[in-house]
Structure 1
Amino acid sequence: MTKILITGATGFIGIPLTKKLYQLGYDLKILIRETSDISPFEGLDNIEYTVGDITDMESLDKATENVDVIFHLAAYTGIWAKDKSIYNDINVKGTENIAKLALKKNIRLLYVSSFTALGPTPEEPVDETYEKTDEFYLEYERTKYEGKKVVQEYFKKGLNGNIFYPGIVYGPGDFNIFGEMLYDIVRGKFMGCPGDGESIACFSYVHDVVDAMINTLEREDINREDFILGGENILFIDYLNMIANIADCKEPRHFPVSMAKFYARLCEFKSKITGKKPYITKDTLNSFELNRSYSSEKAKRMIDYRITPLEEGLQKTIKWYQDYLKSEQK
């Protein structure tokens, strides 16, 4: 039986990926930290847990013993960090540690990157061959770009595997930046849309992404291919209005970008004092203003990637948030 190591298993994509692999009968090992919350896997017998960190080669060496495939999802995804070196340590150096051991031990590496690693795009959808032409505003974007370059270099050395670039992943249980935004709309606490919201964004339903990645597990014939796992490309303001309409609440108001950036600076100043993450940052706002338009035709053709219509996926997601809100109010 194929033995799979998963990093980042307790994250938003990692939880449904782990559960689906378990249901399919795979032999699973999960890399966790001492502080990891493994409650989502209660009742899933025979999952092996190994304590370690992708920045620590000794613990990684132990974690990769007798493993056939690694799903590498672990990353630092925050919009802000008091010490920015954490982005490089985890997203670049940590990824290189994984790739190095995978090559040494002949383990197949399935690396989950991000649409941000491809960079901002023109209005027309781009594919996996696209080379970024704009600067990166966020450390997360820059280090995911460098992380995918690391994996591509190891592919040249003989490492087997694939790279995935999911779009903005949404779905039940998401409390990353876009999930928090969606939840704020549902509970009537969303501040509004900076500017006209005319930039293009690409949204991917989490279970579509999980299914597509699992489809590559036994596919030795597609080694070293990379795949965009996107969804519908839509104007950001149309996305926000769709959420409001489904949730039966007011459409977000607009306010000047200059006002939003002033507020972001205040948030960042407060964070420097408190050490807590800001609600928004100036660089995040700059990134939101750029187009992110991607084509998933290659993934559809080669790994049977199937895209849930955005409205359908949002209906399921918003129902989850509404139920969650009711439970929090009890």
Structure 2
Amino acid sequence: MSNEHDKDFDVSGVEPAGPIYGTRPDGFRSGFASFVGRPNAGKSTLTNALVGSKIVITSSKPQTTRTVVRGIVHRPDGQLILVDTPGLHRPRTLLGERLNDLVKTTWAEVDVVAVCFPANEKIGPGDRFIVTELGKIRRTVKIAVATKTDLVSPEQLGQHLLDIAALGAETDTTWAEIVPVSAVSGDQVSLLSDLLLGMLPEGPPLYPDGDLTDAPEEVLVADLIREAALEGVRDELPHSIAVVVEEMNLREGRDADKPLLDIYANLYVERDSQKGIMIGHKGARLRSVGTAARKQIEALLGTPVYLDLHVKIAKDWQRDPRQLRKLGF
């Protein structure tokens, strides 16, 4: 990709970044970096840690991220735009194929790709598959990030870093850096930010000060609802949940100092049996999902929320092109 940021930039079909913002101090850098890796490798948690705010949903369940969300890191010496992608995997559904296409398109368009290798898991065929695929994109700078270092001993971490270096040699991949970090403890997160920024081209800010993401609020809200739903039915419905925000408006007729945001959202599953699981006995499961999601949404948007959730069936939506379009994929 060109290192000139004098035009709008678009990653994987999301909205263009828009106009250039502000003047450029000497040596100011700006650009795009993408975290990639196997599902559940810590990419979303690391994005949130670098941005300093929760803008990407996380879950102990793999395959949580389904959209590309930009997190924006503002610094005096530059602006780092983080592109969080779904985990690359061998797809079993049409949805899986589309998510993989999204990842590969993103790789070719960013300045730096950071491959995440969780320190508490041995490097395996999935990692080799990702690095081999990444090797087909020659011009993008590549770094390796050992994530979740708080979960292992120094000896285990040392071996993990050697394994990452060996994987690079085996796949003819040149790592510009190999960096161990813990997003949970904050260890070396600032160093990673410094390294990523130093690999970006010089250029003006691409987003206004204060912006933490360019994802529409409806997308962030839908993701927070789906995160709450995944935590509730972790084993029964790992990948079958989709959320669409149908309506989101401030309630009319309220005092300016007492706003209330009305959100109406549909939670889609694939079968009747899944609908029953999602609603729970006498609606208990759905109520708990709504309560957890509402707290997260209020924390994100800083506004009291009335959340109205309904469960609907979109039969086999992960394999149906028409249903995927309807649900935003």
Do both share a fold (TM > 0.5)? no
